[in-house]
Amino acid sequence: MRPITRTISAAVVGFAVGAGAVSGGMLAYHQMNPNANATLSQSAAKTPYATVATSTPATLPLGPDTIANVVKRDGPAVVKIVASVPQSTSLSSSPYFNQFFGSLFGNGIPVTPQATVQTDIGSGFFINSRGYLLTNDHVIHGATKIQVYVPGYSKAFTATRVGTDYATDLAVLKISAPKPLPYLVLGNSNQTPVGAWVVAIGNPYDLSHTVTEGVISAKGRPLTIGSRNYRNLLQTSAAINPGNSGGPLLNLAGQVVGINTAVSTQGQGIGFAIPTSTVEQILPQLMKYGHVIRPWVGVFIATDTKSLAKQYGLPTSQGVVIVSVEPNSPAASAGLSPGEVITAVNGQTVTNDTQLKNLIDKMKVGQQATLTLNDQGKTVSKTVTIGQEPNGPITPPSTAPSF
């Protein structure tokens, strides 16, 4: 079988994470406006983890105070997150080291790596009064110290990780405060239409509690950034920048409909947020287990087509072709190989990669799946024991096709 070789296309979108020193000033705590509370009241139900809106908010008339009331009501629940991430650099790679000491130590001679700390700045918001807050996983990924700056408190709180999910880029943190904290209500992103007004609150470039507004530009956007594959993002015209990551995207009833996550590096007014429909699915597992339990086989796949079959000499043009097998995965243990074409799972015919993934997603970790494969024109069966997806990056091979 000839190897399948094609370069994966690179994403042109960067995370909205900021890096820099922590500023000393903090915004004063905003007292809630009673009139704003009455105007923005909503029907909501408290779960063990968060408060979730139970109905679509009533349409509010646009006026000069609408956004101001949302900010006054919700602003106290939005925080700044400062994550300290250790870095290792070699002195020989520093331009300052080379300038003063390069000739003494020789050109390019490696020296002992020096430990440095990178400071990443992001945003987050409380989901209940007990100090639990939501943010992006990439804001705190690899951090050895996480500080949370809360409006109304002069000193930062040290946060602990409750749960993280690399795949959806969500994280839950916890701080201990001396009194109950203000929190936000999770709204219904599914019922938020394209064109709806939204408000973003966050800390772009360490400018605490910056407010921007825009609309929902599109829904259901798939996006790949590095090794993270987002399946379903909200696109918004509300300005978000490095430091906004993890902050709330709010509707005009003050409900969270998304978590600001990424910004286009090649355009203006093109930002992306994780919808609350995703948050509601992931949050219970993060709170209970600290991670998400997902069934996993460990193969990179593509829908087989006539052109693909002809180009790479595949034995059939129907099914799902295995492009690559992850080492030390259930697929590797079952003896699956690149170039084999999956045509059925437990006797159920599969014709595309989405259908195959949906079938696997319905299975439980530890369950066995019988795969029917076409291997160089021969029909074979192999049994795979479903594993648990790693909570970290899984980098596709450079030889995988860009499907």
Tens digits of residue pLDDT in 214-238? 999 999 999 988 878 898 999 999 9
Q: What is the DSSP letter of 204?
A: G
Can you read off the two tokens belonging to residue 33? 């406006």
229 lies in the same domain as 172:
yes
> Which of 211, 220, 218 has the alpha carbon at shortest distance from 241?
211
Q: What is the DSSP letter of 320?
A: E
Written as one string, the DSSP assignment of 95-110 is: HHHHHHHHHHH-SS--
Q: Is the residue at 400 inside a domain? A: no
Q: What is the DSSP letter of 87?
A: E
188 lies in the same domain as 125:
yes
Whether 195 shows a pLDDT value over 90: the answer reads yes
Handedness of CA 158, 164, 166, 168 (dihedral sign): negative
238 lies in the same domain as 380:
no
Per-residue pLDDT band at 250 (split at 50, 70, 90): very high
CA dist 241 and 20 (Å) reads: 14
Q: Is the residue at 115 inside a domain? A: no
Q: Is the residue at 1 inside a domain? A: no
* CATH code, domain carrying 323: 2.30.42.10
72 lies in the same domain as 221:
yes
Q: Which amino acid, residue 234?
A: L
pTM as predicted:
0.78
The pLDDT of residue 252 is: 93
Can you read off the two tokens belonging to residue 179? 């009194």
229 lies in the same domain as 369:
no
258 lies in the same domain as 306:
no
Residues labelled catalytic: 138, 169, 245
**CB-based contact 260:273 (threshold 8 Å):** yes
The pLDDT of residue 259 is: 98
134 lies in the same domain as 205:
yes
Q: In this structure, are strands 185-186 and 51-53 parallel, antiparallel, or unpaired? A: parallel
Whether 98 shows a pLDDT value over 70: the answer reads no
173 lies in the same domain as 264:
yes
Range of the domain at 335: 295-388
Q: Which of 254, 274, 289 is the last residue before a domain boundary? A: 289
Helices marked H in 313-361 — which ranges? 330-334, 353-361
285 lies in the same domain as 323:
no
Whether 254 shows a pLDDT value over 70: the answer reads yes
The pLDDT of residue 376 is: 81
Q: Which of 289, 317, 350 is the last residue before a domain boundary? A: 289
Q: Which of 257, 272, 289 is the last residue before a domain boundary? A: 289
253 lies in the same domain as 301:
no
CA angle 124, 149, 199 (to 5 degrees): 40
Q: Is the residue at 149 inside a domain? A: yes
Whether 74 shows a pLDDT value over 50: the answer reads yes
Q: Is the residue at 104 inside a domain? A: no
The pLDDT of residue 89 is: 57
* CATH code, domain carrying 39: 2.40.10.120
The tally of domains found in the chain comes to: 2
Can you read off the two tokens belonging to residue 382? 């192999």
285 lies in the same domain as 299:
no
Q: What is the DSSP letter of 239?
A: -
Whether 140 shows a pLDDT value over 90: the answer reads yes
| Cβ neighbour number for residue 315 with a 10 Å cutoff | 19
Q: Is the residue at 230 inside a domain? A: yes
Per-residue model confidence as pLDDT tens digits over 333-352: 999 998 888 989 999 998 88
